[in-house]
Structures are given as C-alpha cells and as structure tokens.
Amino acid sequence: MDLETELEYKSYEFSGIDEDAGNWKPILISSGSELAIDAPSGVASAEFLAEVEGVKSTIASMSGDQRKNVDHWTNNAVLRWNEVALGLIAKYNLIPGPNVDESYTLPNPANPAGPPVFPFSHPPYASRALAYLSVAQYDGMISAWHYKFQFKRPAPYQVDMDIPHAYVSNNLPSYPSEGAVLATVSRKILTAMFPLEADYLKELEEQHLESLILAGENVPSDLEAGKKIGEEIAGIALARAADDGMKYAQSPKAVSDSLRQAAFDRFGWQWENLESPVRPVGLTPLFGKVKMWNVQNVEDTRPPVPPAPGSEAFEKDIKILQDYADNVTHERRRIANFWQDGLGTYTPPGHWNDIAGEYILKYKLNSIRTARTFAYMNMAIMDGGISCWDAKYYYYYPRPIQMIKDFETIAGTPNFPSYTSGHSVFSAAAASVLTYIFPQEGEIFHEWAEEAAISRVYGGIHWTFDATVGTTQGRDVAQYTIDVAKSDGADD
C-alpha cells in the first residue's frame, strides 16, 4: 500500500449509475423524498434555455486556474471532500500541552481559537467527524438520485452540443446537482467539526460549485436545488450530533476518578497515566457513552474480562512483549511505524478512509456508491470506537509500560487505558465493512487489519490480548452495521 492523502485520479466511467438509488433507505431520514425541492423548468422553457446560454458563455471565458479546479473536483467529488476531511483531521490532531504551571487547559468549542485550539482531532473525534460527514453525504445523495430520475432533466452538455463536457459522460440527469449537494453538506458538516476552517471550507464549496458549471455538468438551477438538499440534510445530521453525548466525553476529573475506583473495586487493578506532568483525566473517558449508529446497547459489544495481573496468561504475555522488545526486527519496526497514525496524522479511522478511496477507484464506483461505502464504514468505525472506549474505561486496564519493569516502547504511550486496542477495533470494523462492499478483496483487508492490530504489540503499546480481542470486537460491532447495509436496497 502506498497511501497519500490526495488520490491521483481523473473523471471516469462509472461501473453503473444505479437508477433506482433514489429508493434506497437512508440513515437519518425516512426516504429520499423527505427533502422536498421544486420541479425544474422544462428543457424547452425560456428560463432553462437562458441558463444553458449562460453556461456556454461562462465556459468560454474560463481561466487556467478555473480549468484546474474542474479537473481537481472530477465527476466523483465524494472522494475529494473525504480528502479535505482527512487533511483537517491531521492538521488538528495535536494534543494540548501543559501550561507554565503544569496544569492543562482543554480545547473549548465556545472559544475555538484557544489556546488551545479546538478541536483536538484524536481518533474518537476523527471517527465521529468522518461518520457525520459521510452519513449526511449519503442521505443527501439518495435524495438527489430520487429527484434526478423523477424529473430526468438532461445536463446542459446534452442539450447544446456546443457546450464542451469536461468529464467522462455517465448520462446522469442533472437536476438536482449531486455535486452541489456534496459541496454544501460537506462544507456545513466540516465547519461544525472544524470551526476555525469556516472561510477555507466556504472557499472550497464555491470552487466546487463553480466547477460544476464550468464542466458543462449543470445549470444554476441544478445547483440551487442541490444546495437546498445539502443544507437540509446537514441540519438534520448536526441536530443529531448536538445530542449524541460527545460534548460530555471529556469528563471532569471526579467522573474519571469514579471510573478508576469502580474498576479497582471490581478487578483489583487500575491504569495509571505516566505522562509528566500527569494529565488529570485520560482521553475521553465517556466516549463509550456516546450514541451509537447501529448498536442499541454498547454493553452488548463489551469484550470479556482481560487476564488478571499475575495470572498465567498475563505472565505469558509479558514474555511475548519482552521478546519483541529484545528482538526488534526491521519488519516489525516497519509495521509499527506504518500503522502508528499518531499525532499530526489522519489517525487510524482516517487511514482506513484512505484505503477505501483506493478501492472505490479500482472498482469505479459512482458517487452514490462511494458515499454509501464511506457512510457504512465510518458508522462501523465510530461504533467500534465507542465500544472500545466503553471497554477501556470499564476495565481501566494498565498498559505494558506500567506493569513491566524497565520496559520501553518504540512509540509514544497513549493517555488512556489499554484494553482493548483502538487500532485493532477501528481496523477490524473498517476491514469488515470493506469486505462486505468488495468481497473479492476481503482477504487483504483482514490481513491489513490484523497487521494494524499486531503493530501496537510490536510497538510495546499493547498486550497481545488487547489486539486479538480488539480485532474480534471490531468485527462483531461492524456486523451490526453490515446487517443494516444489507437491508437498504442497494444489494437488490
């Protein structure tokens, strides 16, 4: 795998256009018709013909920079907006450091400029941002497809042969514009997640919308209808986000301490934060309480009790980790580094979005199938993360560096409990959904998920059972989402 945040691709012929996709079952709304738009003017109307002439005139005066934007956005801009999200996740994946007095200040959405800036886009935050973005995109696309094939208004390049079409033609009706849906819904969701980037995201939205006219794909009324859908579905998604419990995930110290004490009372162990100065609360102790997408009760996915310190299984694991630490090979170090996805990167959820993009292009998925892939994968990743964090703070299990004398890692030690491994859960969940979407590639997806899991053991971050149990946990959680996907109509 050679992964880059921005994929190199041009417009392409889709493997199919899914004329019936407007009848697929969305996630946040009851049906594609729930978001209402007006009927378009007819192709013989003076209003529409004037719009076509305006498109022709606009294309004739296109600049070189505008042409580059047309080429950049392509006829599947779901991938481009996903890349924007990955770039922002990496930019904001910086843990706030200590103040001069060795206290810590948390990022505050009410004061995003800080210091410290909001957000800190750690893996749970990244998984949530990607889930809301892709779910809103998918539902908006279902609505767009519903009306496209109801009204069947042709694109301007199909009406006037003098209008050049910049993209490979897939004969999609143009009203409403799916590109406009994507531009608007993506800008709104990402602005809510990364408020300091509002101006940048608005500029991207405007560039994308302009490119749709310059490509010969749409007339302005196509864009207005698409923008209306994008605005409405973004509002619905953000209303869910406001009430999903994420605002309470970074709990006060008293709550965190109560979780620590409860674990000690149950099991006789507790994780200790070894940072200096000590951060008073680990990362998002209550992320395990955030509303899940496809699992009704997080406890239904909670893994079994890990081995007790001093037990035979525990002592066996110590020997395994000490052997890895004493015999670091080039290949083990490569694996640990490749999957590390630490600070300043797009995190493990982002890594799997990058992988998904490569296979979406390999199999030439259209834009609605692309949105569907990201939506189900990112819901499974977020649900997996919630299940993982429930286990982390229920069991409050210590990390190897705390329990093995003079033990050293080859990667930084995260500031939250060990069991289970987030990398393992995120990766197994993603691989399971991608295997459902691309069954012929399942072997390699699961192989990579297992490699991501063992990478944390090679790095000295996790126990082997953190990784193996986490992999099973991720697969189990993903199955809830896969079962939903199988009933949405896309497989019929």
Q: Helices (H) and strands (E) in the chain — how many of each? A: 17, 0
Residues 6+ apart with CB under 8 A from 109: 118, 119, 195, 247
Q: What is the CA radius of gyration of the chain?
A: 24
Residues 6+ apart with CB under 8 A from 17: 170, 171, 172, 366
Q: Which stretches of 62-154 are DSSP H helices?
A: 64-73, 78-92, 123-151
Which pLDDT value is given to residue 5? 67
Residues 6+ apart with CB under 8 A from 441: 359, 434, 435
Cβ(293)–Cβ(375) below 8 Å: no
Q: Would you tell me how many other CB atoms lie within 10 Å of the CB of residue 320?
A: 12
Longest CA–CA span in the chain (Å) reads: 82
Residue 4: what pLDDT?
60
What CA–CA distances, in Å, run from 289 to 195, 319, 324, 387? 24, 35, 35, 9
Tokens coding 349: 């959820």
pLDDT tens per residue, range 16-45: 999 999 999 999 999 999 999 999 999 999
Cβ atoms 341, 347 nearer than 8 A: yes
Structure tokens at 217: 């794909």
Following DSSP, what letter does each residue of 391-453 receive, concatenated?
HHHHH-PPPHHHHSTT---SSPPPSS--SS-HHHHHHHHHHHHHHHHSGGGHHHHHHHHHHHH
Residues 6+ apart with CB under 8 A from 121: 88, 89, 90, 91, 92, 93, 129, 194, 347
Amino acid 342: pLDDT: 94
Q: Could you say which DSSP state residue 117 is in?
A: P
**Which tokens sit at 293?**
């997408």
**Is the distance from CB of 210 to CB of 190 less than 8 angstroms?**
no
The DSSP symbol for 420 reads: S
Contacts of 326 (CB under 8 A, 6+ apart): none
Distance from C-alpha of 368 to C-alpha of 490, rounded to nearest angstrom: 10
Given a cut of 50, the residues of the chain with pLDDT beneath it are 1-3
Single-letter amino acid code for the residue at 485:
A
Contacts of 96 (CB under 8 A, 6+ apart): 104, 105, 106, 107, 115, 116, 120
Q: Where do runs of H (alpha helix) occur along 7-122? A: 46-60, 64-73, 78-92
How many angstroms separate the Cα of 85 from the Cα of each of 78, 92, 196, 204?
Answer: 11, 11, 13, 12
- What is the model's pLDDT at position 276? 82
How many other CB atoms sit within 10 Å of the CB of residue 489? 13
For residue 2, the model assigns a pLDDT of 44
* Distance (Å) of CA 431 to CA 207, 292, 383, 399: 33, 19, 14, 26
Q: Are residues 462 and 400 in contact, defined by beta-carbon separation less than 8 angstroms?
A: yes
CA-to-CA distance for 186 and 180, rounded, in angstroms? 10
